Structure 1
Amino acid sequence: MSIRALWIVPIVRQSTADLLQDNIIFTRYFPLIEKKVRSANGEAYISLPSPTEFSNALLFELGFKDEEKFIQSRDTCQKVERKPVFEVTTPAGTVWPVVVVEQRGLLFCCLPLVPDNLTTSRPDLIQIPGVSLGFSLLCGLTDFLRQCPPSEVAQRSGDLHLYLNTAAPFGRISDVNCDTVMAKMYNKPSYLPRAQKQPSWKPVLHKGKNILYLALTENIRAIQFNKENTADTFDLYGSVSCKSDLEVALSDVTINLSYNSPESAIPMDNLLIHPCVQSADCSMLQRGETKAAPRRIRFTPPTEMFTLCHYTASGLKGPPIKAVYDMKMTDNRASLTIQLTLSDKVKNAFEYCEMQIPFHNRGIISSQDSSVSQGNTLISPDKKILVWNIGQKFPKSLNANLEATVVFTDAKSPSSFDDPFCTDQNAYAQLFFKIPDFTHSGCCIDSKSIQVSPSTKFKLNTVHEYLSAEYKIWNCNGDVLSSSVPKALLKQMADM
C-alpha cells in the first residue's frame, strides 16, 4: 500500500507543435519504494519518466493535447477505460496504473505500487490496494489545497512535502484523512486525560460546544414522456450526512431512521452504510412487503463530515410534479405549452422551483412572448434557454401553466452545447426544485431516539430536504430517448 510517485499537473490545451516547458507544478518521488520496484522487476523494470515527459504524456492521454485530431491508440471506442486509472506511455516506457483526480484545473496524479506477486501480468485493479488508497490520498490532498488558488499551488511546495511526509512517509500510505494529517502536521494538543485511550485516526479532540449535525437529503430522478407506448420512470433515493463535534476521544452514536406516518410512508428497500457503522438494520424487504419499519444505526463518527448511509425507496406511485410539454416548431418559431400538477402528497412550500426549456440546434432566442399562471419567465444569458421561475408555492388548485411563443435567429452561440438528438421537434424541459423540511418517502431522523455514549450534553441540528436530480419532460410531439427491458428478462425477473 505504497506509491512510487506523485505529480500535480496543470491542464494545458496545446498541440504537439507547441513545446511545453515547466508545465508541472509539483513532483514527489519516493526512492525507497522505487528501489523495491527495481529489485522486484529486474530486467523488466521501467524507470519513472522526468516531470516534463510525464506531464506531456498525461495531457496527451487525457485528450488535452491534439484534442481535435482522432488518434487510433487513444480515441478508439474499442479501448477500455477504467477511470480514474490510466495507462500513460512515456519515452521511458509505459507507466501503469496512474490514478488521476481532476480538481479546479489541476490534475492530481499518483503511481501506486503493484505487489510483487502481480508484476508478471496485468492484474485486476481490485487486487492492487494502492489504487484505492492512492485515490483517497489524492482526494485528501485536494481538500488540503481547497482554499488555495491553482496559480499559488506551486508556492506551497514546502507544505505539500510536509503533508506527504505525514500522510505517506517514505511513500507508504498511513493516513488519507486531511483533518487528521493536518492535526499531526501542526502538532495540535489533544487535551485528552491520560486515563482515556485515543484512536490514531482522531489525533486531536474537538474543543468547544458539543454539536451533532445530521442531514437527510432525498432526491427524485424522473423522466416523463407522455406517450402511450413509453412509460414514465422515476427513482427515489436519499442519504444521511453527519458531522460530529464532541469532546470525547471515542464516542458511539445511535440514531433511528423512522417515518412521520408509517401507514402512508414509502419503506426503504435498500440501505448502504459507511464503514464506521458498527451495527445497523440493513435487512432487505421481501417481495410484496409494504410495511415501513424504522432502521436503527449505531456508529463511531470520524472527525470530518461524512455520508453515514444511502437508501432507496422503490414504492413510489407517481412523480411529485406531473408535467406535460407540448411544443411545435414552424420555421424559426416555437409554440409551446407546459402544464404542471403538484401531487397532493407533496409539501407545497419550495425553497425554489424553476423550469428550464433549452432549445438546441436552433440558433439564439431573439424574442419570446409568454403567459404564465404562476411566476415569471426570462431568457438565459446565452439566449438558448427559456427559464420559467415558478416561485415558492403552487396555487390552491396545485396547477401551473405556461404558454409561450419563442422566435429564433440564425446566429449560433459558440459557447453553448447543442444536443445532437434535439433537432426539429425532439426537445425536453428540465425541472429544478428544493423543498425544505420534507421527504417524499416520509423518512426522517428521530431526534428523540438519538443516543451518545459516553453520555454527554450536545446540541442537535437536523436538516431534512427534498431535491430534484435529473427531472426531464420530453416534448410529446417529438421522439424521445428511451430504452426498454427485453420481455424475456422481464419474465425472468418476475419468476425470481
Structure 2
Amino acid sequence: MSLRAICIVNIPHSNASNVIYYRKFPTCEKRAKLKHGQSYTPMPSHAALADALVDALCFQENEFKEWRDGADITTQLPAIELKTKDGSLWPFIFVKQQGTYFCCMPLVETTFHPKERPGILTLPAVTAAFSSIMAVIGFLGQPLGGITENWPKLSELDTFLSVAAPFGRLQVTEPSVVTAMMESPDMLYDDPVKVPAWRPLPFQGKPQVTVSMKEVVHSTQCDRSDMQPVVTISGYVKVHCELEGQGAEVQLRLKCPTTKLTPVGPDMVLVHPCVVVGAELCQVLRGGSSKEKSERTFRFSPPNHPLILCHYTFSRLFYPPVLGFYSMRGDKNVEFQLQLKLQDDIQNSFEAFEVKIPFYNRGHIKKSSLTPSYGTVFMSKDRFSLMWSIGAKFDSKSREASLGGTVVFEETESEEFRNSSATFVGNTSFVQLYFRMLDYTLSGSCVDPKGVQVMPPCKVKVHTDRRTETYEYKIWNKFGELPFALPKTS
C-alpha cells in the first residue's frame, strides 16, 4: 500500500491552525496523477491544508455546508473529505490526540463520487493509512502538553518514514522495529537473503521466550427467578521472543481444560497474522473422559517485539466465580444487604478485591451504620458511594463475605449535588466488583513452558505468567427494575 502524504496539524481553535509537519511522497503523487487523470486533485500547500482541515472538522454554530453536512452524505470516520481550491481529497484519514491531528492521504486506485463511495473497510489503502498514523504516533510518543514544533523527535520523523515507507510504499509499521533499523550500523539494504519484514534485524543476547496470559471476566447477576447469572471471559496470549537468527520459529500449545466454569472450549480464537497457515489450529482433544483437555498448537515466526499471539472468548457461561446477592430499599434512609460467595473450585487468593456500592440520585451520604463480616468499609471521596475492601482472600472455611446496614443521606440538597444518574431511579441499582488474581486464569487456560519448542533448536529460557481481572462485574438489586431482559435457562 502506498501513501501520498503524511502531516501533523495543531488546531487549538478554528482561528488558529498550524502545520507542524508535512511530508509528501512525489513518486506516489505522480502515480495518483496517472491513475486519476482529469479527476486528479493535487495535495495542497501547508496553509491550504490547514484551512481545509479546519473547514472539515471545526464546526461553527449555525453553520451548514452541503458537501459536509448534507443528509445524503455518509460520514465514515476516521475518513473525511478535504475540500481544496483544486478539488476534493477522499479518503483523508485522521486521528486526533490532545488537540493535534495526525493525518494521512493514501493512494487509492480511483476517485469516487460523494454519493457512490464504498465503505472504508473495503479499501485496503485506508487500513494502510491508519496503520501509518499509529506508527507515527508510537514513534513520537504522547507528551502531556501535546506535540509542538519543538518536539525533539520531529527532527527524526523524516528518517523514520524513509525506513518505514520508502518512496511512500508502506513496509513496516511497528515503531520498535523501524527504530532498530534506524539505529543499526550493520543494516544491509542489499542483503541477498530475504528476511521477514517484521524481523529485519537479528537479536543478540541470551535467548528467552516470555508468555503472558490475561483474562477479563464480565458478569451480570440478580437474585431473581427470571434471571440466571451470565458470565463472559475474554483473554489473550502475549509473547515476546528474543531469539538469535532471522529465521527462528516457535511452537507452543495453549491448553484449555474443561472446568465447571468453562464446560466447553473457547467459542472463538483469533490468531495473529504471523501464525503459519496450516499449523494445527484445529482443536485437539486429549486425556480421559473425566479430565478432557482441549489444546491448540501455534507455530509462528516471531518478531523481535512483543505481540499478542491470539485472542479467545468464552461466552454465555452461567457459573460465576463469585456469586452475589444484593437487596436494597429506601430513599433518604436506605437499608441494604450484600452477600458474596466464592465458588469452591476458584482460587481463594487475590491481589486485591474491592466492591463499590453507589447510591446516586440521593445526595451526599450523611452517616452509615454497617456490619461487614470481612474486610473494611470506607466512604468514597465524593460521598456518593461506599467502598468495601475485602482484602486478599475470603474466609477459608465458609468462602463467604457479607455486608449489611443502613445509610442516611443529607435531607436538603439541590439537584447539582445529587450526582444524578439515568440508571439509578428508585430501587434500580447495582454493586460492582473489582478483583485481580495473579498466576491464575478462571478458564484454566495455560501454556506449558516445557512444551515451547524453538527451531532451530537452542537452549532457551521460558517465562510464563497469568493474571485475571474483572470488567463490568455487576450484581443488580433484586427489588429494582432491570434495564435488560434475560430468560432463565433450565
Q: What is the TM-score of this pair, normalised by structure 1?
A: 0.83
Task: Indicate if the aligned counterparts of 1:263 and 1:292 stay in contact, CA closer than 8 A.
Answer: no
Shift of 1:75: 9.0
Cα offsets for 1:396-450 (capped at 9, x unmatched)? 2111111243344425668x98542322222222111111111222221111111
Task: Indicate if the aligned counterparts of 1:25 and 1:153 stay in contact, CA closer than 8 A.
Answer: yes
Partner of 2:385: 385
Q: How far, CA to CA, are the matches of 1:368 and 1:439 in structure 2? A: 37
Kindly indicate whether residue 1 of structure 2 is the aligned counterpart of residue 6 of structure 1: no
The one of 82, 86, 93 equivalent to 2:79 is 86
Q: How far, CA to CA, are the matches of 2:211 and 2:174 in structure 1? A: 20
Shift of 1:147: 6.0
One-letter amino acid matched to 1:30:
F
The one of 56, 70, 94 equivalent to 1:100 is 94
Partner of 1:114: 108
Q: How far, CA to CA, are the matches of 1:382 and 1:370 in structure 2? A: 19
Q: How far, CA to CA, are the matches of 1:381 and 1:80 in structure 2? A: 44
User: How do residues 355-366 of structure 1 correspond to structure 2 at under 5 angstroms?
Assistant: 355-366=355-366
Shift of 1:189: 3.0
Kindly indicate whether residue 16 of structure 2 is the aligned counterpart of residue 34 of structure 1: no
Shift of 1:217: 1.4
Shift of 1:324: 1.5
- Structure 1 pair 363–27 and aligned structure 2 pair: CA distance change class (3 A): farther
Aligned CA RMSD, in angstroms, stands at 3.7
Shift of 1:460: 1.2
Kindly indicate whether residue 138 of structure 2 is the aligned counterpart of residue 143 of structure 1: yes
- Structure 1 pair 70–328 and aligned structure 2 pair: CA distance change class (3 A): farther
Task: Indicate if the aligned counterparts of 1:23 and 1:55 stay in contact, CA closer than 8 A.
Answer: no
Kindly indicate whether residue 316 of structure 2 is the aligned counterpart of residue 307 of structure 1: no
Partner of 1:405: 406
Partner of 1:210: 207
- Structure 1 pair 200–46 and aligned structure 2 pair: CA distance change class (3 A): closer
Partner of 1:130: 125
Q: Structure 2: give runs of 5+ residues left out of the alignment.
A: none
Q: How far, CA to CA, are the matches of 1:91 and 1:361 in structure 2? A: 50
Task: Indicate if the aligned counterparts of 1:358 and 1:386 stay in contact, CA closer than 8 A.
Answer: yes
Task: Indicate if the aligned counterparts of 1:272 and 1:282 stay in contact, CA closer than 8 A.
Answer: no
What SS does the corresponding residue of 1:154 show, helix, strand or coil? Answer: coil
What SS does the corresponding residue of 2:135 show, helix, strand or coil? Answer: helix
Q: How far, CA to CA, are the matches of 2:252 and 2:31 in structure 1? A: 47
Partner of 1:373: 373
Partner of 2:337: 337
Equivalenced residues, count: 471
Shift of 1:237: 2.5
Q: How far, CA to CA, are the matches of 1:79 and 1:117 in structure 2? A: 16
Shift of 1:394: 0.6
What SS does the corresponding residue of 1:277 show, helix, strand or coil? Answer: coil
- Structure 1 pair 236–408 and aligned structure 2 pair: CA distance change class (3 A): same
User: How do residues 288-327 of structure 1 correspond to structure 2 at under 5 angstroms?
Assistant: 291-314=292-315, 316-327=317-328
What SS does the corresponding residue of 1:239 show, helix, strand or coil? Answer: strand
Task: Indicate if the aligned counterparts of 1:251 and 1:301 stay in contact, CA closer than 8 A.
Answer: yes
Q: Structure 1: give runs of 5+ residues left out of the alignment.
A: 491-496
Q: How far, CA to CA, are the matches of 2:146 and 2:199 in structure 1? A: 32
Between 430-439 and 307-316, the greater mean CA deviation after superposition:
307-316
Kindly indicate whether residue 196 of structure 2 is the aligned counterpart of residue 199 of structure 1: yes
Between 350-359 and 141-150, the greater mean CA deviation after superposition:
141-150
Q: How far, CA to CA, are the matches of 1:364 and 1:78 in structure 2? A: 48
Q: How far, CA to CA, are the matches of 2:415 and 2:101 in structure 1? A: 32
Shift of 1:82: 4.0
Shift of 1:198: 3.8
Task: Indicate if the aligned counterparts of 2:202 and 2:246 stay in contact, CA closer than 8 A.
Answer: yes
Q: What is the TM-score of this pair, normalised by structure 2?
A: 0.83
Kindly indicate whether residue 251 of structure 2 is the aligned counterpart of residue 250 of structure 1: no
Cα offsets for 1:89-132 (capped at 9, x unmatched)? 54646543233334455442222222138679412323321111
- Structure 1 pair 189–257 and aligned structure 2 pair: CA distance change class (3 A): same
One-letter amino acid matched to 1:336:
F
Partner of 1:276: 274
